[in-house]
Structure 1
């Protein structure tokens, strides 16, 4: 902070202290006008504090670096875990609610008792700047999932010689079965591969070997992944991070 900034800050602090003192004895019209001014100043300061905390907190916003296997030719962390969203959360979230540009909530509840909230990761072990917290109260549906749309780059050059890897970090309040389903649309068909996440293990990584699929490599149009939550009633699920990559499978 330079000398001018210090001088201006001292003047502001003295002025605010005098406003507090005068508020006890001044006419109500003056107190009312100063209150409106103070509320405007507080809004600006709250905005500054929010932006400053975002920039100074770790991990750094926009971080898209994470460990990948040797030979990786595509790697990606979705926007939700990479940067701040315009809408931070939602209560009683209906089906087909979009969270950012790439993640969509699906369920068949008649009455939604689900809340979604993007949160700031601050733990030393966290590599992603942001996470997603989902609170599920009474659940009267038969399915609950998060669909993650891959970018177009994921389709380019994708072949049956690839492995697609998903590295999530998921915390649950109570034990919960979670499945990851990779979907690849090729022409009129959709190839689907399902893996259960090993949530009790030190690594929750799963791989999808396209070598066992019936993929038409020349007609790939879209790729997405579903995270499917089995029996999520009265549970809190926090997805701290989710990264995806692809690399060639070993040749035998």
Structure 2
């Protein structure tokens, strides 16, 4: 009984809320600047929460029916993650003639030094049943006069929390290319005033679709780790279409010998 009552009250409140915003939309053209500024702030706060609900709903509704996120977890894995662009719809879904420092969603930033670059990024819906992620990223590069092109991704706090030198970080990238090119990953770990960097090339010759970073080869101060980020670097990307169907991360401890 209480469930039905709550459901009715929820619908009543929602109906009044929709009516309030419909009325606000009608009145907005006649409001003064102070009123309009406040209305905009209220609408932006509401939109942030609505966007969070929509993203979570779309992420779950587009996930495989069998459940699970499809991320390969090595033995002892204590953290795994797929960035939002591959989990659910982002806005805007694409950018044309993208300048450097353009963000796609809230987590991916494009960097390049091209001045006359014909470059387009777009989130796509994965169609194949073999794809583990519901969404992917397509990058179309035509003329490109720059010397570098990279996507930069800040790792979330759980990836950094408790990070030790006995950890390995695995990055998996499922990608199809119109023409062969070299793809490199650079892991950056900031600890205190210093930043450690490790670089690995993604094997595209049948040797797997992932790279692993062994933090034993760094000199990180485990007590002062502040943040970490990854650069995905594309060498010679011009006149190419790059489709990244999935991008995943997994952290796990090295096996004791």
In structure 2, runs of 5+ residues without a counterpart are 1-57
- CA separation of 1:160 and 1:101: change in aligned 2, threshold 3 A: same
1:184 alignment counterpart: 189
Q: Equivalents in 1 of 2:100, 2:80: separation in Å?
A: 29
Gaps of 5+ in 1: 1-52
In the TM superposition, what is the alpha-carbon distance from 1:158 to its structure 2 partner? 0.3
The equivalent position to 1:67 in structure 2, one of 68, 72, 88, is 72
Q: Deviations over 1:58-114 (max 9, x none)?
A: 646x97342211100000000000000011101100001111111110000012310
Match of 1:72, SS? coil
1:25 maps to what in 2? none
The DSSP-based 3-state class of the residue aligned with 1:124 is coil
* 1:109-188 correspondence runs (5 A): 109-188=114-193
Output the CA distance in 1 between the equivalents of 2:61 and 2:113: 40
Say if 2:59 and 2:88, in contact at 8 Å, map to a contact too: no
TM-score, L = length of structure 1: 0.75
Conserved? CA contact 1:58–1:122, under 8 Å: no
Partners in 2 of 1:55 and 1:245 — Cα distance? 21
Aligned mates of 2:135, 2:99 — CA distance in 1:
22
1:194 corresponds to 2:224: no
8 Å CA contact 1:59, 1:121 repeated in 2: no
Separation in 1, partners of 2:62, 2:215: 39
Structure 1 residues 116, 59: closer, same or farther in 2, change over 3 A? Answer: farther
2:240 is aligned, of 232, 235, 238, to 235
User: In the TM superposition, what is the alpha-carbon distance from 1:202 to its structure 2 partner?
Assistant: 5.5
Residue 84 of structure 1: aligned partner: 89
Residue of structure 2 in register with 1:251 after alignment? 256
In structure 1, C-alpha distance between the alignment counterparts of 2:73 and 2:239, rounded to whole Å: 35
Contact 2:125–2:134 (8 Å) recurs in 1? yes
What is the distance in 2 between the residues matched to 1:134 and 1:63? 27
Once residues 221 and 158 of structure 1 are traced to their aligned partners in structure 2, the CA distance between those partners, rounded to angstroms, is 10
Are the aligned partners of 1:59 and 1:126 in contact in 2 as well (CA < 8 Å)?
no
The answer to whether 1:95 aligns with 2:90 is no
CA deviation string 1:28-65 (max 9, x = no partner): xxxxxxxxxxxxxxxxxxxxxxxxx99876646x9734
Distance 1:93 1:160, change over 3 A: same
1:211 aligns with 2:216: yes
Equivalences for residues 52-63 of structure 1 within 5 A = 59=64
- Distance, in Å, in 2 between the alignment partners of 1:56 and 1:158 is 33
> What is the correspondence of 1:19-34 to structure 2 with a 5 Å cutoff?
none
Q: Based on CA coordinates, which of the two structures has the bigger radius of gyration?
A: 1
Aligned length: 199
CA RMSD of aligned residues (A): 1.9
